[in-house]
Amino acid sequence: MIVNNPKGPSRVRVKLSRIQFPEACPVCLSEVEDLVFVTVVDKEADAYASSSWTKQDEVNIQLQTAKSATTFAIPTCMRHGSKSVRSLRMKLIAALGFFLLFYPILFYLFRINVALTYSRPLAEPLIALAVLVVILVLILMYGLYPRALERAIRFHDVSRVKDYVILSVSNREYLNRFLKLNEMVVQENSTDSSVESDQIED
Ligand SMILES: [Zn+2]
């Protein structure tokens, strides 16, 4: 049974123990060449469901598993693969970059102010400020903007105890393949309750 949600990505509820991802890239549907590991923390263990996108990092995965998290392996193409997603480290680098650049930017704003007040050369502090601002914007985009793959599949909730995972998929064709692989009920965004189908075996 498929309940299509015409607006935006469809929310899907899948049995955690039986989840399978199609052999296609979730973003562009092209050939599978890479594998991206997504770790989602159980909502019952953590107050908030959170996900982190990692490369194959055994230590990290084991740490996450200890905190009752579940790791999914999603096949992707090379372009949208593990090199394109943001890891926790990248987000930390972005935050660090912001704090490192904050004071130099203030410093050059101050220099510009001084140059304007006392008619000193303006070019040097202006160029320095422009460079710093560009670097800051790039760092923030690098760290904070969700990559194509992260926008294509979003994990909302995972429960190992109740054996389900709720995720949303934005690519319609990928969703259809996903539904074929995992017999399930697609939840509409407005409804919370759903009946899971058990017709896995053909
Ligand atoms: Zn792709």
Domain spans of the chain?
A: 10-85+152-182, 88-144
Ligand 1 centre to CA of 130 (Å) is: 34
Q: How many helices (H) and strands (E) does the chain have?
A: 5, 7
Residue 130 has pLDDT above 50, yes or no: yes
Amino acid letter at 21? F
Taking the centre of ligand 1 as the mean of its atom positions, its distance from the CA of residue 81, in whole angstroms, is 7
Q: How would residue 184 be classed by pLDDT, with cut points 50, 70 and 90?
A: low
State the Cα–Cα distance between residues 90 and 168, nearest whole angstrom. 24
Give distance in angstroms: CA of 202 to centre of ligand 1: 30
| Mean pLDDT confidence for 73-78 | 93
Q: Which among 11, 39, 42, 12 has a CA at the least distance from the CA of 159?
A: 42
Length of the chain: 202
Place of tokens 């601002």: 133
Mean pLDDT of 123-137: 93
Three-state DSSP at 202 gives coil
pLDDT reading at 53 higher than 90:
no
